Structure 1
Amino acid sequence: MTDTAIAWDTYSGQRPERRPVNSRGETTWFNWTQYQDHGPGVELLEAGPGDRVLDLGCGKGGNAAHLTAVGMHPVGVDVSPKQLAAARSRWGDMPSLELHQAEAVQFLQQDRAYDAVYSVYGAVWFTDPARLLPAIRARLRPGGRLVFSQRPPVEGCYGCQASYIPRGDDEDPLVVKRWDYEPEVWEQVLTEHGFDDVHASVMAAPPGRRTVGTLIVSARA
C-alpha cells in the first residue's frame, strides 16, 4: 500500500459516518461544504439522468450515492481501501454506482468520457494541478463541467502545502500535500489549462461562530 493510501486510511477512521437522514428527512443528498445542510447541491454539475459523472476522491461515497438516486451514473475513485470499503458497505446495493481504488491521474488515463467531474474536499485539492487538470480536461465531454470545493487558503500560504493527519500519541503525524490558491489564481490556472467559463468564490460559513467558508470552483471543458 502506498504512503498516500495509508494516510487516507488513517483519516477514514477519524471521520464520522454520514447521518442516516439529513434535516429534510432525505436518505441521500449532495453537500459541497464542510457544514451539514449548507450550500448548493447537485445543480452545480449541470448534469442530468443518464449522465456519467466522475467523483475524484469519493471517500465514503455519500455524494456519489445521491447521484445514483437521481438517475445519474456516478464513478467514484479513491486511493483509500478503507474509505471504499465503507462506501461499498453502505451504498453497494445501488446498481449504477461504480467504485474504484486508484490514484486520480492514473485512473484518468483510462479512455472513458464523462459529462461532469467533481471533487468535494478530494483529489483536486490533494493532487498537483499541473498533472491533474490536463487529465480531467482530456476526459470531459465538450461543454462538460468540472466543479470542486475545498477550504480557502490561509492568507499568505499558497501553492503546495502540507496537511497533517494525526496518529497515536507516540507516532508522528502522516503528511499529504495539498494545493491552496486564492479564487482568482484558481481561475487563472484553470484558464491556462484550457477550461472556459471559470468561476471561483468563497461561500460564507453558516451563521454562528463559524468563520471559515468554502471555496467552490467551477469550469467548463
Structure 2
Amino acid sequence: MTDPRSAAWDTYSQAKPQRRQTNAKGETTWFNWTQYADHGPGAELLALRPGASVLDLGCGSGGNLAHLATLGMKPVGIDLSARQLGKARDRWSDVGGLELHQADALAYLRDTSTIFDAIYSVFGAVWFTDPRLLVPLAHAGLQPGGVFAFSQRPPVKGCYGCQASYVPRGADEDPAIVKRWDYEPDIWSALLEEYGFAEVTATVLPAPEHDKRTVGTLLVRAVRGDQAQPCSAM
C-alpha cells in the first residue's frame, strides 16, 4: 500500500526549487542546516572523516548528501518522495557514491544492517516521526561515539508534541496533512539522554541579522553513549 505521506511530499517537491548552482562563496556543493541561505554551521557538525558512513533521514533533493559525497564520505539518503529523489538523481548525476532509497525512516532503520558513523536530518524525517520510536532506532544505528544531529523550526510557544502540518495541493483539493513533533530544546535534550545519547546540545540558532524573517532554527546534536536503550521504546 502506498504511504499517503509520499503524495504529500511529492506535492511539496513540485513547489520547491532546486538548490542554487553556487552559494555565496562560489561553492557548487555545501551543507546547510537552516532555512536561510549561507547561514549557520556546516558539515563539520557531524565530525566525519573521509570514508565514514552517514545517513540522511529525509534527504529531499540531495544537496547536503552530495556535499558529503564530495568530501569522501559514504552517504545514504532516504526519502518518502519519489519526486524528491528524482530531483536528487537529476541534479547530482555527476557526483559519485550517492546511495538513495525511497523509504520510511522507521522501516529503514529497523531493516538496514549498516551501522553509521553519523545520522542526521535537516527539516526532514526526525521532525515528522514520533521521536519515541525514531530516537532509539537512531541510537542503535550508530557506531559508539557516532553523531545524531537534526534541525527544524523551533516550536510555537504553547504548541508542543504532535502537531499537524498542512501541505497545499491544488485549488480544488484539500491540503495533505502530515504529523510533526515540536518540542522545546530542554525537552529534546532530556529525551535524547533518556535513550542513551550523551553530549547533547539543543539550541535555537537565531535568524540572520540582515533577513526580514525572525524565526530561528532549532539545532540539536548528540553523540551515541554507552548505556543501553530502554526496552519499552522498541
What TM-score do you get using the length of structure 1 for normalisation?
0.98
Query: In 2, distance between residues paired with 1:93 and 1:124?
Result: 28
AA in 2 matched with 1:214: T
Q: 1:134-145 to 2 correspondence within 5 Å? A: 134-145=136-147
Shift of 1:94: 2.2
Name 1:127's counterpart in structure 2: 129
* 1:212 match: 215
Q: Secondary structure of the residue that 1:135 maps to in structure 2? A: helix
Equivalent residue of 2:5, what SS? helix
**Aligned length, in residue pairs:** 221
Shift of 1:210: 1.5
Instruction: Supply the distance in 2 between the matched residues of 1:94 and 1:14 (Cα, whole angstroms).
Output: 24
User: What secondary structure does 1:12 align onto?
Assistant: helix
CA distance in 1, matches of 2:93, 2:139: 29
- Residue 161 of structure 1 is matched in structure 2 by 163
Q: How does 1:1-221 map to 2 (within 5 A)?
A: 1-109=2-110, 110-207=112-209, 208-221=211-224
**Inter-partner Cα distance in structure 1 for 2:188 and 2:93:** 35
Task: Give the Å deviation of 1:114.
Answer: 0.3
DSSP-derived class of the 2:61 partner: coil
1:171 CA drift (Å): 1.0
How far residue 28 of structure 1 moved from its aligned partner, in angstroms, is 0.2
In structure 1, how many angstroms separate the alpha carbons of the residues matched to 2:162 and 2:54?
A: 27
CA separation in 1, counterparts of 2:97 and 2:170? 38
| Structure 1: distance between partners of 2:213 and 2:176 | 27
Question: Aligned partner of 1:63: which letter?
Answer: N
Q: After TM superposition, which residue ranges in structure 1, 4 or more long, deviate above 6 angstroms? A: none
Q: CA RMSD in A?
A: 0.7
Unaligned 5+ runs, structure 2: 225-234
- 1:108 match: secondary structure: helix
State the distance in 2 between where 1:8 and 1:93 align.
Answer: 25
* Percent of residue pairs bearing the same amino acid type: 61
Q: CA deviation at 1:93?
A: 3.3
**Aligned partners of 2:6 and 2:94: how far apart in 1?**
25
Gaps of 5+ in 1: none
